[in-house]
Amino acid sequence: MNITIQDLRFTYPTGLDALKGISLNIKSGEQVAIVGQNGAGKTTLVRHFNGLLQPTSGSVIIGDWDTQKHTVAKLASRVGYVFQNPDEQLFSKDVLTEVAFGPKNLGYASEKINALVKRALALTELSAETETNPYDLSPAWRKMAALASTIAMDTPIVIFDEPTTGQDAANVGRIANVIAELKKAGKTVITITHDIDFCAENFERVIALSKGQVLLDGPVREVLAQEEILAQTYVDPPQLTRLGKRLGWPEPIGTQQEFLQALSRRQPKQA
């Protein structure tokens, strides 16, 4: 399901121009990271994807639906949204009920709900906590529960807002795994993140926003190698990209594997 954004502008009631003409196409099944400084408009932009915000001018089309013609609850069948703070949505007596809430709202048959919930809990490694009250989980695991409750909705598009904040390396790995599984299932994943290494390792395309406009948009390695331009929106390139550059290598490096390949190509053949 494609997302088509045309000349999107948004002004908050306070008069703040948060988005100043954004046009984008996100194709079905793409893995997109959105980066940029605090206040660049990242959250404002993705809140338009499920109708939480309506354009001041321009349009956002999800598949064949104009977001201005459908309610948020309706758009929820196409766009799942994982909020930053899990405490602003958890309310059920146990994790199982919590995760089933979204799919139930979407009116799926009960067998389908059971299967989706089971899969979401397995992906987030919460299967052993089905009967736990969400508020008895640690903040980091509450965040995983909120993530599970959105992916259980089985929407073609999933949005994550800063999924890795406050998470340790193990949970960041779990989130990366969830994103990989969503990709396998053909889902579109859109993630706002400050964690640029996470971005380099898990996404194909990066959009850098600055002051309500698209600063850079393209394949992850090319975008994240633009050190000077990224600095305008307060983003540092990933660690290994910087390392490759400091070593004077011309090709953009994103992941450890790419780095090691580039390194071995440069090693003189051992006699």
How crowded is residue 246: how many other Cβ atoms within 10 Å of its Cβ?
Answer: 8
Indicate the residue among 139 and 219 with the shorter CB distance to another protein: 139
Q: Which of 3, 62, 76, 147 binds another protein (CB under 8 A)?
A: 76
Query: Candidates 62-70, 122-130, 183-191, 237-245 — which segment interacts with another protein by CB under 8 A?
Result: 237-245
Contact status: 54 vs another protein (CB under 8 A) = no
CA nearest neighbour of 24 among 48, 8, 13, 12: 8
Q: Which H/E stretch holds residue 229?
A: helix 227-231
Indicate the residue among 7 and 136 with the shorter CB distance to another protein: 136
Indicate the residue among 30 and 98 with the shorter CB distance to another protein: 98
Contact status: 194 vs another protein (CB under 8 A) = yes
Query: Candidates 25-33, 117-125, 215-223, 240-248 — which segment interacts with another protein by CB under 8 A?
Result: 240-248
DSSP string, 46-91: HTTTTTSS--SEEEEEETTEEGGGS-HHHHTTTEEEE-S-GGGT--
What is the Cα–Cα distance from 49 to 75, expressed in whole angstroms?
9
For the chain, how are helix, strand and coil distributed in percent, rounded to 5? 40, 20, 35
Contact status: 181 vs another protein (CB under 8 A) = no
What residues pair up with 160 in beta bridges, in sequence order?
Answer: 82, 191
User: Binding marks (x or -) toward another protein, 138..177, rule CB under 8 A?
Assistant: x-xx-------xx--x--------x--xxxxxxxx-----
Give 248's DSSP letter.
T
Query: Candidates 112-120, 177-185, 215-223, 258-266 — which segment interacts with another protein by CB under 8 A?
Result: 258-266
Contact status: 246 vs another protein (CB under 8 A) = yes
Query: Whole-number minimum distance, CB 247 to another protein, in Å?
Result: 6
Classify 35 as helix, strand or coil. Answer: strand
CA nearest neighbour of 150 among 70, 72, 89, 66: 89
Residue 267: both structure tokens together: 């090693």
Query: Whole-number minimum distance, CB 50 to another protein, in Å?
Result: 6
CA terminus-to-terminus distance, the chain: 54
Query: Candidates 76-84, 114-122, 183-191, 219-227 — which segment interacts with another protein by CB under 8 A?
Result: 76-84
What are the residues binding another protein (CB under 8 A)?
14, 36-39, 47, 50, 52, 71-73, 76-77, 79-81, 83-85, 87-91, 101-102, 105-106, 135, 138, 140-141, 149-150, 153, 162, 165-172, 194, 196-197, 231, 233-236, 238-240, 242-243, 246-247, 256, 259-260, 263-264, 267
